[in-house]
Amino acid sequence: MKRLPPLPALHTFLVTAQCCNFTRAAQQLHITQGAVSRQIAGLESHLGYPLFMRQARGLSLTQQGRELFPRIQQVFGLIEEAVQAASGQRQALQLKAPTCVMRWLWPRLMRWQAERPDIPVELTTTVQHGVDFRHESFEAAIIYGPEPAAGQKPRHLFDEQLTPVCAPALLAGPLPLSQPEDLAQHMLLHPTRDEEDWETWLAGAGVNLPNLSQGQHFETLDLAMSVATQGTGVAIGDWSLIAEDLAQQRLAMPFELKVRTGLAYYLVQPPRSTASEGTLAFIDWLARQASLR
């Protein structure tokens, strides 16, 4: 049987594959760039095939490297889990989520931590809507978009349903908000730099507004919702994400119409990975929370 490659070389490969840069890998490993290069070259010689393609702007994984990376990542994850379990330390579940889902996710994470303090969750937020498990070390991620490939073991959370929202006080103000055409008298708050969400809902309502481009544009949904609660305008939001704001009467829906965009939120896992019992318990619990809306 062929002798296995040395563990330090496999760890160097794992770190280098995550950043695809010898210099950054050396900084993370606290060794020289030359040492990283020699370990990778030695590992490639031992295996009999190249792991990286050297390019002018950095590195990229070869086909063999892409196939090896998730397996080595899983092995070191199991080693870390075993060491922490033996020492009595609690390993935090690494979760990635886009910032747009935080109004829904954060209260539920707090509830999970109260119910299951034995399985802490370490959350990483991002403005990106997806995840690349080949280069990102997360046990699970919430993504937004069309249905992902079956290889990511997707669990559907909820569909995006757009609807206008505003502060309850705005409904009782001097300017009416009884029909969609009345939006022409109010400032429109856009949760993104484009106007696509408002355009989608207005198309569903069969209304054209002259003031569509004259409102305020924000970088995130959360900012738009926060400004809407102050009564300065009408925002367009995802009903699924702001249900708690509506229940607590921080926001109100002037109209009943909710327009589905065809996009949704999914909870996904790395392909070809063996999830821990804690990860599976959290995924099942969060999926149940989504079904309780």
* Whole-number average pLDDT of the chain: 88
**pLDDT band for position 141 (50/70/90)?**
very high
List the single range of 75-84, 91-100, 178-187, 201-210 with lowest mean pLDDT. Answer: 75-84
When pLDDT is cut at 50, 70 and 90, the band that residue 87 belongs to is low
- Position 147 scores a pLDDT of 87
* Across 210-218, average pLDDT: 88
Predicted confidence (pLDDT) at residue 21 exceeds the cutoff of 90 = no
Q: Which residue has the higher pLDDT, 211 or 78?
A: 211
Q: How confident is the model at residue 115 (pLDDT cuts 50, 70, 90)?
A: very high
Type of residue at 176: P
Q: What's the confidence (pLDDT) of residue 222? A: 85
Q: Are 105 and 97 in contact (CB under 8 A)?
A: yes
Q: What is the pLDDT of residue 126?
A: 87
pLDDT of amino acid 179: 95
pLDDT-based confidence at residue 84 (cuts at 50, 70, 90): low
Q: Per-residue pLDDT for 259 more than 70? A: yes
Domains by residue range for the chain, with CATH: 7-86 (1.10.10.10), 88-155+264-291 (3.40.190.10), 160-260 (3.40.190.10)
Amino acid 159: pLDDT: 95
Q: Over the stretch 195-210, which tens digit does the pLDDT of each residue have? A: 999 999 999 999 999 9
pLDDT exceeds 80 at position 273: no
Q: Tell me if 9 sits within 8 A of 43, measured CB to CB.
A: yes
32 contacts 69 by C-beta, under 8 angstroms: no
Res 190: pLDDT? 92
| Exposure class string for 237-258: b at 16+ Cβ within 10 A, else e | bbbbbbeebbeeebbbbbbeeb
Over range 234-248, report the average pLDDT: 91
Give the residue-averaged pLDDT of 34-41.
91
Using CB atoms within 10 A of its CB, is residue 286 exposed (0-12), middle (13-18) or buried (19+)? Answer: buried
Model confidence, pTM: 0.67
Contacts of 202 by beta carbon, 8 Å cutoff, 6+ apart: 180, 208, 209, 212
Order of strands across the sheet with 216-217?
121-126, 93-98, 140-145, 259-268, 155-165, 234-238, 188-190, 216-217
